[in-house]
Structure 1
Amino acid sequence: MRENGRAFDRIRLLPRVAVDVAGRTARTRLLGLPVPVPLAVAPMAYQTWLHPDGEVAAASAAAVAGVPFVVSMMASRTVEEVAATGAATVMQLYWLRDRGLFRELVGRAEAAGCVALMLTVDVPLLGRRLRDLRGGLVRPANVVAANLGRAGGGLDAVGGAGTSEVAAHTGVLFDPSLSWADVAWIRSVTRLPLVLKGILDPDDAALAVAAGVDTVVVSNHGGRQLDGAVATAVALPAVVDAVDGRCEVLVDSGVRGGVDVLKALALGATGVLVGRPLLWGLAAGGAAGAARVLDLIGEELHEAMALAGCPDVDSARRLRTSVAGGDR
């Protein structure tokens, strides 16, 4: 987790000068949609744990900002409630042992007007999260995975130091047998664009393109899955090269502000997913707090683009960078 932030910090931008940036714009397309800034809100579970309005408040902030909102399969408000906020909603899914429930969720996403499906592929099982285990992580009784109906309530027998209710719950729900054949099947059963989240190896990015995926997300799950996995800012350029313009490439894990967004663009990303900062805003101030975080990131990006001599997103992607003394 720490290395994700450090990797972004180590990137150095080579700004251009004597460029007219008076009329600069960060407008672009993301997930096939026009957006005012190249970012979307990442999928994050159980947001009512932080604020009573949870995902509805966070999605309302995204709607005001005009950016897509990815609702977690493990969200504490339903995809229908989130979509009703007016946000461009993406439904995030894990590969479930219960295929009928998986198909039901795909159908609900389509019926709710979601703009895409996002399959997270880096969780065959939940990573060993020591903080959760030490604290004996147990959700409050009123915080459930609302999209999963009866399966969303958790396991009553789990609790106490050395255990994690979330890990036990997902261990029952998630199927570790996910293969590229399954990805191709998912592609075949929905008309929605398909996003794969959790790509780090460029060979996997190429396989995703071959499977008909529309967007890949370079992600190590915020550093909470395989400890010691490569930082996303390090993995990003090779993934961009591997897809060679055949699909969009987003990046998350370690994005904390507008300068990080600019660095991601300079490394070839189509845009970013923002996670933790939005949760901090939600916890501090509900929908208004989350909206302020999105505003701040946008303001920081516009300022950074001006100082780097970038009148638009395309010019940001042409910026040169240096990392640990080597130019790219």
Structure 2
Amino acid sequence: MGATAIQLGDFEALAREGLPPEVWAYLAGGAGDETTMHANGEAWQRLHLVPRVLRNLTTAHTQIELLGRRWAHPIGIAPVAAHALFHPEAECGTVLAAAAQGAACVLSSQGSTPWAELSALVRDDPGRGPLWAQAYWQGSLARTLALVEHAAQARMEAVVLTVDAPVHGARDRERRAGFVLPAALSKANAVPGSHPPLPAFEHPPLCGGLLAHAPTWGAVGELIRESPLPVVLKGLLHPEDARRAHDLGAAAGWVSNHGGRTLDTAWPTAHALPAVRAAVGPDWPLLVDGGIRRGTDVVKALALGANAVFIGRPAVMALAAQGARGVAHALRLLRDEFEIALALCGASHPGELHTDWVRQT
């Protein structure tokens, strides 16, 4: 298996050694000056845990209930495009590793492997976590529903609609490296046909008119009503947006700034999470990603109102370094750290955590 990682950060150097510089720039980089990308992790580190002692933890566990399903633990893998860029096992390795660790796995619509093929690999594994499909708006409700129907036919259990990237961020590191995402590695789940034609514009439009194909709240509401799968909205930072998603009937909200890859200097997710939770009340499921690298980060996220957390870059770096075995090892490391932190904080299960366990410096 090569060098042994003892924490998620160790996979970064292992992955960088084996990837072409332009692919590493795509994986490791963010938008602009990468301020948000770095601030995500720093924000979790500035939070301090306040443990409780002498509590009875005899029956303590890590299980949660989310979207009608029991999860072994509240840790999942976030969607990342084109895993074949990073390792020959591609999404197959990621899905198998997630199943082996009982972790939720969200599979990008811009992946290298068809959803149906990935579902078939693990759907009969009784210990696996949920399999969700990630989607971008496809320019129209009809095309987006076609993609969701495709996910349903592949036996995905929910669809995660990414709503914070109507256009790409300005990713300087990628541009300097000359990276272009190969179409052949990211179209396994593509909807046939082309986007609707652009309308005529009275004035020169933003971003070449691409925003004419971006979704609105009304369109997303129609998707939620017509979707055969529960719809999770990913990319929420503003409390009012979260409240609107809740009121439209989304199955869950996902607090995310796209890992710092779209709008640089956007609010770190650790800061946005408490405000979003306050806006939607205690019962609506909330997920979070962005800079989570330690089991203590998982505890902090749950204490601030998340029901589950997701990792993106660390999982793919582990895949790049060591294939499926690396991803499974990364998940196991984070699970073990989470269990240790949960026990040392005196919490008997994830749902018991609340803001009393966390202090901001």
Q: Same fold (TM over 0.5)?
A: yes
Q: Deviations over 1:154-176 (max 9, x none)?
A: xxxxxxxxxxxxxxxx9999865
Q: Deviations over 1:229-271 (max 9, x none)?
A: 1100000001011110342001101111211100101111111
* Residue 165 (structure 1) aligns with: none
* Residue 56 (structure 2) aligns with: 20
Contact preservation (8 Å) 2:254, 2:286: yes
For structure 1, the 5+ residue unaligned runs are 153-169
Q: Deviations over 1:201-234 (max 9, x none)?
A: 0000000011110100000000111111110000
Give the C-alpha shift of residue 83 in structure 1. Answer: 1.1
Secondary structure at the aligned position of 1:322 is classed as strand
Contact preservation (8 Å) 2:141, 2:223: no
Give the C-alpha shift of residue 123 in structure 1. Answer: 0.5
Quick one: distance in 2 between partners of 1:221 and 1:5? 13
Where does 1:142-161 land on structure 2 (aligned, <5 Å)? 143-148=185-190
Give the C-alpha shift of residue 310 in structure 1. Answer: 1.0
Judge which range, 93-102 or 109-118, deviates more.
93-102
Quick one: distance in 2 between partners of 1:52 and 1:317? 41
Judge which range, 33-42 or 23-32, deviates more.
23-32
Q: Does 1:198 align with 2:235?
A: yes
Q: Does 1:311 align with 2:353?
A: no
Secondary structure at the aligned position of 2:121 is classed as coil
Secondary structure at the aligned position of 1:203 is classed as helix
The amino acid across from 1:92 in the alignment is Q
The amino acid across from 2:115 in the alignment is V
Give the C-alpha shift of residue 150 in structure 1. Answer: 6.2
* Residue 89 (structure 2) aligns with: 53
Q: 1:252 aligns with which of 273, 289, 301?
A: 289
Judge which range, 99-108 or 59-68, deviates more.
99-108
Q: 2:79 aligns with which of 32, 43, 55?
A: 43
Quick one: distance in 1 between partners of 2:294 and 2:111? 24
Contact preservation (8 Å) 1:12, 1:323: yes
Quick one: distance in 1 between partners of 2:182 and 2:322? 20
Judge which range, 184-193 or 90-99, deviates more.
90-99
* Residue 63 (structure 1) aligns with: 99
Quick one: distance in 1 between partners of 2:210 and 2:98? 29
Quick one: distance in 2 between partners of 1:174 and 1:234? 28
Quick one: distance in 2 between partners of 1:124 and 1:305? 38
For structure 2, the 5+ residue unaligned runs are 1-36, 123-127, 195-206
Change (3 A) 1:67 1:32: farther
* Residue 132 (structure 2) aligns with: 90
The amino acid across from 2:48 in the alignment is R
Q: 1:133 aligns with which of 156, 160, 175?
A: 175
The amino acid across from 2:53 in the alignment is V
Give the C-alpha shift of residue 98 in structure 1. Answer: 5.3
* Residue 222 (structure 2) aligns with: 185
The amino acid across from 2:158 in the alignment is A
Contact preservation (8 Å) 1:47, 1:76: yes
Contact preservation (8 Å) 2:147, 2:191: no
Judge which range, 202-211 or 63-72, deviates more.
63-72
Change (3 A) 1:31 1:294: farther
Give the C-alpha shift of residue 22 in structure 1. Answer: 4.1
Give the C-alpha shift of residue 194 in structure 1. Answer: 0.9
Contact preservation (8 Å) 1:124, 1:175: no
Percent identity over the alignment is 39
Quick one: distance in 2 between partners of 1:241 and 1:128? 32
TM-score by length of 1: 0.88
Contact preservation (8 Å) 1:126, 1:225: yes
TM-score by length of 2: 0.80
Change (3 A) 1:212 1:149: closer
Quick one: distance in 2 between partners of 1:74 and 1:175? 21
Q: Deviations over 1:42-61 (max 9, x none)?
A: 01101110111111110111
Give the C-alpha shift of residue 314 in structure 1. Answer: 2.2
Quick one: distance in 1 between partners of 2:179 and 2:209? 16
* Residue 17 (structure 2) aligns with: none
Secondary structure at the aligned position of 1:84 is classed as helix
Give the C-alpha shift of residue 142 in structure 1. Answer: 5.0
* Residue 112 (structure 1) aligns with: 154
Change (3 A) 1:174 1:116: farther
Q: Deviations over 1:94-150 (max 9, x none)?
A: 111255442221111111111101100000101100011111112357523211166
What is the number of residues matched between the two proteins? 307
RMSD: 2.1
